[in-house]
Structure 1
Amino acid sequence: MIQLYYAATPNGLKVRIFLEEAGLPYHIVPVNLSIGDQSRPEFVAIAPNGRIPAIVDHSPAMRDQPLSIFESGAILLYLADKAGMFMPEEPSRRLEVLQWLFCQMAGLGPMAGQIGHFNVYATETLPYAIERYRVETAGLYGVLDKRLADRPFIVEDYSIADMACFPWIVPHMAHGQNLREFPNLHRWFEEIRVRPAVIRTYGDSKDVYTGRTLQSADCATLGSQSEG
């Protein structure tokens, strides 16, 4: 059994998507970010950076004792190797997946996170910050759009690279983006959002921008909401 320390942020959602896709047994340990659960000593003992997600694998292959892992990219890599799924064995393809995973971790996540903050959470409107991060995020959407022009998924077959990026594209409207301006990315998004594991993941999660509980139907209509 895997314990998933979780809140329904994009980084939390991508790990849950993997667990659902792979069919690995897991148990959610909710981490309420609004009341500071992420700073509690018992959580920091698992995730020294005080950020979700984190996991504890109670049956790791590498040792007899439970294994804790933090950082969503590291968790995805660990789980892919554990399950033998969604990560190519061929070295050059594996390297491609790693590059796009790190691209999400270092680029798409931070930039989309900033526009989400300034566009939704900030207590005052800061046009310079909003425009800067909207443009940066649009540029990264464009990189993915170009990559997806001649392949179904980011690295041919569906992989942890797709799982890492998808939850950062779901709130595209809050990020000031119109997916119809990125036709290849839009096509990719439409394919992934209807995967059963993705619908299960979003089916009982609360939207991080509205606080509204998402239903299964919401994930099936995310791509068509008010995009102009």
Structure 2
Amino acid sequence: MNVLQNELGYHVQHRVISSEPWVPQKRERIFIVGFRDPTDFDFDALEVPDSKAGPRLKEILQPHEEVDPKYTLTPRLWQYLQDYKAKHQAKGNGFGYSLFGPDDVARTLSARYYKDGSEVLIEQPGNRPRRLTPLECARLMGFDRGKRRWRIEVSDTQAYRQFGNAVVVPVVEFVAKAMQPHILKAVETSGKPVIRGEVPIVARPGSELAAEYA
């Protein structure tokens, strides 16, 4: 905040927002919004949807019968996770796996998910728990949502790492839409042309073509 405000001169606001209203995952992150000049944007006054009305895991999970058996924990790994959790519970610690059903909201997906999936394990009736599939991770992070399909063209390990390091897309969209009228007003005040719904392509002397977004 010191660098953004005092060294770079931005008018900055910040707020912690959880992803629960948009996806079935409790993922709290700090979002920072900065404008070069003062605006009427008020981050604290921005009305975030009620998390209680948010989606549940059943809305993003694939049917168990369609999920490759490789995502089901092996007997050895499942036993290890149970023993590990029991050991720490005996010491009064909260370490261990987390198990979720279709009506739950998952905990935060992390980049280490590829190791054992222990932070978000999915219940399977009559069987051992399973990991989320990469597609389910894409849905849990809001990449694959509504009519927007998301192609996953990397290994499961890389997909888990990348989704775990990402931000939840609809949360960013929510903040961006709240900023949009203030950005447009700032651009109009600056005297620069405002082009809505297009990306004008301009050529600058001594440079290649560059895209400028209004």
| Relative contact order, higher structure (CA 8 A, sep 6+) | 1
Task: Assess same fold via TM > 0.5.
Answer: no
Quick check: which has more Rg, 1 or 2?
A: 2
TM-score, length-scaled by structure 2 = 0.25
Q: Which structure has the highest strand share of the two?
A: 2
